[in-house]
Amino acid sequence: MSKQKTYDEINQKIADGKAVVMTAEEVSRMAEEMNPAEIAKKVDVVTTGTFGAMCSSGIFINFGHSDPPIKMKKVYLNNVPAHGGLAAVDAYLGATELSETNEKYGGAHVIEELIKGKNIHLKAFATGTDCYPRTEIETIINKKNINEIVMFNPRNAYQNYNVAVNSTGRIKYTYMGNLLPHFGNATYSTSGELSPLLNDPELRTIGIGTRLFIGGTEGFVAWNGTQFNTSKPKNEFGIPLSNAATIATIGNLKKMSADFIRAAYFEKYGVSLFVGIGIPIPILDEDMARFVSISNKNIETSIVDYGIHPNIVLGRVNYKELQSGEIILNGKKIRTAPLSSIMKARQIAEILRTWIKQKQFFLNAPVQVFPKNTSLNKLEVKL
């Protein structure tokens, strides 16, 4: 076993301006000629990135108190309902929540407009109490005139995801895009070798408290994401063959940029939010060097028929094949298309590198690692 590096040693190198920081793509190319022991010796940090639609996202808001004050039981932002079942003037706006007047506009759009500093129409109702007598309010807010706006996303950055195809005779409108009939196309939504959780498949360095890039600013891993599943089958390189681990993320919306948070509408599915996330991976030892060396041809995922319920797995494919623009399933050539932006994922990995090189961003060990043996419950229909 080669010499191990500690977080303190890596941070000292960052502080001294001596840290070697590479993107996950660069290190994958380097691994074609160097072994993990050599990479562990040479590289200190590897930066990753992803920019995809992540429905399980949203923001906590505190509006501040009016005079007289209102409890805000029902809250609407640009006609999009937010959840007001919290303390007075606190609310949570989910990205996929739809406007009551425009089915193509939702929480994600309000989030993007807040980031851009635009004015948002706020309407709220309450029953009125002795301490909060007001029953109705209508006003204009923006990110400067309200208190906190904290993005808290319960499930982001899936470690791998299915490839979607459609076996039926009709076009299917899904969160995996428009799937053409008779296997007319295949869509995938992971940045492959650049993807954060695929570069640390055992989640040794990504855990509660990990500092990360979110939406153009610094944020943190808050918890394991919902539907966190460590029991998915893995290939010989330790890569889960479909959607497995996830992270819950948190960050300050007021510091975010619309370059890395964008509202989306998927035809006949609904509204979602493109979220940019990047995580730096410390190369603590040879094992971590081996993990980040993974390349697209060794990252495999499952081809799933989204045309029928329950969805069934039809085959296995790797990201080199997916990114070539064409895969072969049962002897038939199928055109592939990405749904997450590789161009933006690269920008994110590059920005993270710049932050680290400029000594603005340091690494920390997880405050607590994620659970090791989790699987998912199925919702039984009992009544």
Partner 1 sequence: MKKRYVLTFPPHTLDEPLTYHIIKQYDVMINIINARVTAGEEGHLVIGMTGAKENIEKSVEYLRAKSVKCVSIKKHLKYSHDLCIHCGACTAVCFAGALKMIKPLWELRFDAESCTVCELCIKACPLGLFHIDFDE
Stretch that binds partner 1, among 30-38, 213-221, 259-267, 300-308 (CB under 8 A): 259-267
- Please, what is the minimum distance in Å from the beta carbon of residue 344 to partner 1? 6
Residue 44 dihedral angles phi and psi, to the nearest 5°:
-100, -40
In the complex, minimum distance from the CB of residue 150 to partner 1, in angstroms, rounded to a whole number: 24
Q: CA–CA separation, 49 vs 343, rounded Å?
A: 10
Coil, strand or helix: which one is 357? helix
Q: In the chain, what's the furthest Cα-to-Cα distance?
A: 72
Question: Which is nearer to partner 1, 248 or 263 (by Cβ)?
Answer: 263
CA atoms of 323 and 163, how far apart (whole Å): 12
177 is a contact residue toward partner 1 (CB under 8 A): yes
For position 265 contacting partner 1 by CB under 8 A, the verdict is: yes
Q: By CB under 8 A, what part of segment 41-60 binds partner 1? A: 51-53
Instruction: List the one residue from 82, 212, 264, 351 that touches partner 1 (CB under 8 A).
Output: 264
- Ordered DSSP codes for 207-219: SBT-EEEETTEEE
Of 328 and 367, CB closest to partner 1: 328
Strand partners, 231: none
Q: Is 326 in the site for partner 1 (CB under 8 A)?
A: no
Closest CB 267 distance from partner 1, rounded Å:
4
**Catalytic choice (1, 130, 131, 343):** 131
From the list 108, 101, 139, the residue with the least C-alpha distance to 121 is 139
| DSSP calls for 180-228 | PTTTT-EEE---GGG-GGGSSTT-SS-SBT-EEEETTEEEEEEEEPTT-
Task: For the segment 155-174, give every residue that binds partner 1 (CB under 8 A).
Answer: 173
**Identity of the residue, 103 or 136, whose beta carbon is nearer to partner 1 in the bound complex:** 103
Q: Could you tell me the smallest distance in angstroms from the CB atom of residue 168 to partner 1?
A: 16
Q: Which residue matches tokens 């040479």? A: 42
Minimum distance from residue 371 beta carbon to partner 1 (Å) = 32
Q: Does residue 274 belong to the site contacting partner 1 (CB under 8 A)?
A: yes
Cα-Cα-Cα-Cα dihedral sign, residues 366, 367, 373, 375 = negative
- Contact between 262 and partner 1 per CB under 8 A: yes
Give CA–CA dist 339/322, Å, rounded.
12
Residue number with CB closer to partner 1 (222 or 345): 345
Give the C-alpha separation, 82 to 221, whole Å: 24
Q: Which of 5, 294, 340, 370 binds partner 1 (CB under 8 A)?
A: 340
Phi, psi (rounded to 5 degrees) for 11: -65, -35
CB of 67 to partner 1, least distance (A): 40
Residue 55 annotated to the active site: no
Among 339, 349, 352, 363, binds partner 1 (CB under 8 A): 339
List Cα–Cα distances, 216 to 54, 246, 297, in angstroms: 16, 20, 29
Q: Give the binding-site size for partner 1 (rule: CB under 8 A).
A: 30
**223 touching partner 1, by CB under 8 A:** no
- Contact footprint for partner 1 (CB under 8 A): 51-53, 104, 173, 177-180, 185, 187, 262-267, 272, 274, 325, 335, 337-344, 346
Q: Which residues are catalytic?
A: 131
